Amino acid sequence: MKERILQPIGNPLHGEIEVPGDKSISHRSIMFGSLAHGTTIVEHFLNSEDCLRTVNIFRSMGVSIEQKESTLTIYGEGPQSFTEPVEPLYLGNSGTTARLILGILAGLPLFTTFYGDRSLTKRPMNRVVEPLRLMGASITGRSQGNYLPLSVEGKTLQAIHYHLPVKSAQVKSAVLLAGLFANGTTTVTEISPTRNHTESMLQAFGVELLNNGLDISVRGQQTLTATDIYVPGDISSAAFFLVAAAIVPGSQLKLLHVGLNETRTGIIDVLQAMGADITIEREETKGGERIGDIHIRYKELTATIIEGDMIPRLIDEIPIIALLATQAEGTTVIKDAAELRVKETDRIQAVTETLTNLGAKVEEKEDGLLIHGRSKLHGNRIQSYHDHRMVMMASIASLITTSEVVINDISPIATSYPTFYADLKSVSE
Ligand code: S3P
């Protein structure tokens, strides 16, 4: 436990931040680099706890991975080279590692056991275990395999056509990765488009994949060929500073080299819908992903409605968007977001409690939130909920509270953004 006392800021934020690499893309680069044949160099890799769990897991299966700060060199020799780990593998807090690794290992001839921290141990795994079992996977664990610890005994898999019952890139990815090692062609059909990093990165590794609207198909028994990866800045990390600049009067910030994949840019659309002064500069495509600098200047905002297909495009940003909404004129409605209840914590409940404790007017709904702006926020003692995004949201809130905010434990930020406070300091002085 690492308590932190945060004082309100007396001046506007200004300057530039190069946010760390994207978490989703970093995880996939390790996994696909390990599955590939040849040497993959990953630049601007996210050097955070979650991503290091993924590195350790592949090292435990015999893959040689070198790390120099944010550059990884992965010496891939294909999945046949993986060796069976003798000890259970620790996933920490990482839902992405858990779900995607189950897909990868379901069809490989190894016996593996996984466990996680107390947050991950409460998160549902049947969303991936069910489709994988339909393909022939052998997975056992608590509650018929719904909760970690889980064991996987690799089997020969058969392709399926799976209609995703939830809007989840992790489930989509797990089924497609299992499909890579299955007999036949596996298809997933989505309800709404979710982040597509698995599809685009698999293609970069030479996998043939058919993307037909909401249907994505992959032929089994394909080989991955090593390729170099540049990881864009994580828009989910940039989001904290976009909102900081939008709520601290007089602020002006530039976030550099941020990933702008349109399955992830819902936060920009929401800021624009609320009337924010935001521009994208120096846009380019690098390593198959759109990147650019985001320039934001403080401006008074009005409420908006966030629902439907927009939700997967900003699912991880909802805690910080809720804070933003407390400073916008009118009532912001967030609905169709029940998935938030199964994140690192129940984020609908955690956001309601945290913002209410800081003086905001928030109503909790089964699948979302109603936030009545504007509210003057005051200091208080805040819980971490063992959730990195809740800690960072409360830290940004403290910039505009009338007195200090005390967070009981800031250690969860190491999950996705270890340099968060250093970056915040660099634009606060
Ligand atoms: C992720 C997908 C999302 C997101 C998570 C990362 C990924 O989860 O919340 O932080 O890398 O595929 P779901 O697929 O469960 O929505």
User: Is 384 labelled a binding residue?
Assistant: no
Ligand 1 mutation target, pool 195, 237, 389, most atoms within 8 A of CB: 195
CB of 170 closer than 6 angstroms to any ligand 1 atom? yes
Ligand 1 mean position, distance from CA 96 (Å): 6
For atom 9 of ligand 1, the residue with the nearest CA is 316
CB of 49 closer than 6 angstroms to any ligand 1 atom? no
User: Is 365 labelled a binding residue?
Assistant: no
**pLDDT of 338-390, one tens digit each?**
999 999 999 999 999 999 999 999 999 999 999 999 999 999 999 999 999 99
User: Is 151 labelled a binding residue?
Assistant: no
User: Is 282 labelled a binding residue?
Assistant: no
pLDDT confidence of 429, banded at 50, 70, 90? Answer: confident
CB 106 within 8 A of CB 152: yes
Q: How far is CA 406 from CA 2, 26, 186, in A?
A: 11, 32, 49
**pLDDT of 309-321, one tens digit each?**
999 999 999 999 9
**At residue 239, does pLDDT exceed 90?**
yes
**At residue 113, does pLDDT exceed 90?**
yes
Ligand 1 mean position, distance from CA 368 (Å): 18
Provide the token pair at 180.
């890579």
Ligand 1 mean position, distance from CA 264 (Å): 11
Ligand 1 mutation target, pool 27, 170, 343, 392, most atoms within 8 A of CB: 170
CB of 313 closer than 6 angstroms to any ligand 1 atom? no
CB of 198 closer than 6 angstroms to any ligand 1 atom? no
- Of all residues in the chain, the percent with pLDDT exceeding 70 is 100
Classify residue 206 as exposed, middle or buried by CB count within 10 Å of its CB (0-12, 13-18, 19+). Answer: middle
Taking residues 317-341, report their average pLDDT. Answer: 98
**At residue 195, does pLDDT exceed 90?**
yes
**pLDDT of 117-165, one tens digit each?**
999 999 999 999 999 999 999 999 999 999 999 999 999 999 999 999 9
User: Is 264 labelled a binding residue?
Assistant: no
CB of 316 closer than 6 angstroms to any ligand 1 atom? yes
CA distance 343 to 356: 20
**pLDDT of 250-289, one tens digit each?**
999 999 999 999 999 999 999 999 999 999 999 999 888 9
**At residue 178, does pLDDT exceed 90?**
yes
**At residue 184, does pLDDT exceed 90?**
yes
Q: How far is CA 79 from CA 7, 64, 292, in A?
A: 50, 13, 35
pLDDT, position 288: 84
Helical segments of 70-188, H only = 95-105, 126-134, 142-145, 169-180
Ligand 1 mutation target, pool 31, 91, 96, most atoms within 8 A of CB: 96
User: Is 24 labelled a binding residue?
Assistant: yes
Taking residues 39-67, report their average pLDDT. Answer: 98
Q: Give the chain's domains with CATH numbers.
A: 4-21+232-428 (3.65.10.10), 23-230 (3.65.10.10)
User: Is 347 labelled a binding residue?
Assistant: yes
Ligand 1 mean position, distance from CA 196 (Å): 11
Nearest ligand 1 atom to alpha carbon 172:
14
CB of 318 closer than 6 angstroms to any ligand 1 atom? no
Ligand 1 mean position, distance from CA 429 (Å): 34
For atom 13 of ligand 1, the residue with the nearest CA is 168
User: Is 123 labelled a binding residue?
Assistant: yes
CB 63 within 8 A of CB 76: yes
Ligand 1 mean position, distance from CA 339 (Å): 10
Taking residues 90-101, report their average pLDDT. Answer: 98
For the chain, the maximum distance between any two Cα atoms, rounded to a whole number of angstroms, is 62
Taking residues 31-39, report their average pLDDT. Answer: 98
CB of 24 closer than 6 angstroms to any ligand 1 atom? yes
Ligand 1 mutation target, pool 199, 315, 317, 344, most atoms within 8 A of CB: 315
Ligand 1 mean position, distance from CA 95 (Å): 8
CA distance 252 to 241: 10
CA distance 297 to 244: 10
How confident is the prediction for the chain on average, in pLDDT?
97
CA distance 141 to 389: 28
Catalytic residues: 316
CB 44 within 8 A of CB 216: no
Ligand 1 mean position, distance from CA 270 (Å): 19
Nearest ligand 1 atom to alpha carbon 168:
14
